[in-house]
Structure 1
Amino acid sequence: MFYWRTTLTPSPGAGAVDLAFTGRSAARGSGPYAGLNLGGHVGDDPADVEANRAALAHEVELPRERLVFMRQVHGCEVVEVDGPWAGEAPEVDGVVTRAPELALAVLVADCVPVLLHDADSAVVGAVHAGRPGMLGGIVPRAVSAMRDLGARRIHATVGPSVCGRCYEVPEEMARAAALTAPSSAARSWTGTPAVDVAAGVVEQLAAAGVTVQWVPGCTRESGDLYSYRRDGRTGRFAGVVARRKEQA
């Protein structure tokens, strides 16, 4: 089920933090969604998607309703959540929380999943950072939102995404990205203009004083990850972060 997973040892009196990125392992999906598709907006059977989400909740040892998804729109809105949504999930691309035993999920299929965590202050967050989000500053906004909740030593785990060599774009688009984050400038496998969104996100995190762990992997090159650039019609994998209850 998991492409990568770890649990961070808590500070004295604090709860552990679970971090994970799911993989395209065997599950309910079929056809272009074969495997653990967690995206409910891509044309897959809703029953299969919900079964996959329930299986993920079980693996992170939480009730299904405590696994929180967003309605991602490639925007720059970040909201605080303290429990399951009262109704339909809001149209946001970043969520932060201080609530224990609540798993925040971000869905991707080439974009950059960013998991934020500060075990000392018990604040965590999840961010969907595509090229528009990087240009709009979604990641710095999420960092600021965490600091508003008391986070002081923020760490980021950046998940696998499409690499710069596989993300060919028009020259004007590449130039605009480089103006926002110079490290995002890239060249494709054929030497054409390209964007390395993850490198740009990491640059923004470093500029915000955030410690970064970057999980390797290119979605377009890895068969264990969904990739819109590679397949077009496809599913979504997830980045998940959850803070456990404080130790007695």
Structure 2
Amino acid sequence: MTLEILTSDMLSSVRHGFFSRRGGASSGIFAGLNCGYGSSDQTEAVAINRNRVADAMEVTPDAMIGVHQVHSPTVLSVDGPINGEKPKADAVVTSTPGLALTILTADCQPVLFADPEAQVIGAAHAGWKGALDGVLEATLDAMEALGASRTNTIAVIGPTISQTAYEVGPEFLDDFVADSPDNLRFFANGTGDRLQFDLPAFGLHRLRQAGIGQAEWTRHCTYSDPVRFYSYRRATHAKEADYGRLISAIKL
């Protein structure tokens, strides 16, 4: 099956893609394009999947740059392949042509950045904790250190969990209100004391508050479309033993 690669017209000046689960070699609960070595999927299947992504991005597999994601605001700046163990971080930036920056997600926000004029790109993994702790702003800072201008920078949020699928408890709200009372706007009433959190709206808000030139969400919900996307939360609700990881990539 052919790979399904979601793109944004806003990032048309650079090669990029939010890859769905279609077109991969994995089977069972991982069926499709599972690109996470951290899953319990067969290593050989994940390697085949990642090689297919590398081909689609027109790079060699070692030029696909990813990090050991830990829900932090840490950003790694790279100018070549990473040898050995991946550093712990949740975003990566570069001004070096030929490198494909990658992020793995399964409900969290994959965010791809580009300043086409300065030829600087970035990719961030922004779940609720990373977004609240400033990973999106830190990515813009790291891009500026490479010569980018945030007013010229474009950011696109790919497939992520939507508000209708993201039920949280009252203690979750407390963290956001402690950060800013204005964050109440990203919560809607749910059942009982439950609330519905709008992660992509929060991500867009943080990007715009940081002074980014343009930003959008592709409006794909990972939870509600099992044919196309992996979802940690959906797998948990279904009591599945594990879940696949989607990959998003960008290259100069």
TM-score (normalised: structure 1): 0.90
Question: Which residue is equivalent to 1:142?
Answer: 139
Q: Aligned letter for 2:209?
A: A
> Is the 8 Å Cα contact of residues 104 and 125 (structure 2) preserved in structure 1?
yes
> Is the 8 Å Cα contact of residues 8 and 156 (structure 2) preserved in structure 1?
no
List structure 1 runs of 4+ shifted beyond 6 angstroms: 7-10
Q: CA RMSD in A?
A: 1.8
Within a 5 Å distance, the mapping from 1:1-248 to structure 2 comes to 1-6=3-8, 16-152=13-149, 153-180=152-179, 182=183, 183-188=185-190, 192-210=194-212, 211-223=214-226, 224-232=228-236, 233-243=242-252
Q: Aligned letter for 1:170?
A: G
Question: In the superposition, relative to structure 1, how do residues 118 and 188 fare at CA in structure 2: closer, same or farther (>3 Å)?
Answer: farther
Query: Which runs of 5 or more structure 2 residues have no equivalent in the other structure?
Result: 237-241
Offset of residue 238 of structure 1:
1.3
**Higher normalized helix content (fraction of residues):** 2
Separation of aligned partners in 2, 1:218 and 1:9 = 20
Identity, in percent, stands at 34
> Is the 8 Å Cα contact of residues 165 and 189 (structure 1) preserved in structure 2?
no
Query: Which runs of 5 or more structure 1 residues have no equivalent in the other structure?
Result: 11-15, 244-248
Deviation digits for residues 17-66 of structure 1 (CA, Å, limit 9, x no counterpart): 11210011132111111100001101111111111000100011111111
Q: Secondary structure at the match of 1:213?
A: strand
> Is the 8 Å Cα contact of residues 165 and 187 (structure 1) preserved in structure 2?
no
Q: Aligned letter for 1:169?
A: V
Offset of residue 178 of structure 1:
4.5
Question: In the superposition, relative to structure 1, how do residues 240 and 189 fare at CA in structure 2: closer, same or farther (>3 Å)?
Answer: farther
> Is the 8 Å Cα contact of residues 166 and 188 (structure 1) preserved in structure 2?
no
Offset of residue 221 of structure 1:
0.3
> Is the 8 Å Cα contact of residues 3 and 22 (structure 1) preserved in structure 2?
yes
> Is the 8 Å Cα contact of residues 160 and 215 (structure 1) preserved in structure 2?
yes
> Is the 8 Å Cα contact of residues 26 and 41 (structure 2) preserved in structure 1?
yes
Separation of aligned partners in 2, 1:141 and 1:9 = 20
Offset of residue 70 of structure 1:
1.3
**Structure 1 range deviating more: 21-30 or 191-200:** 191-200
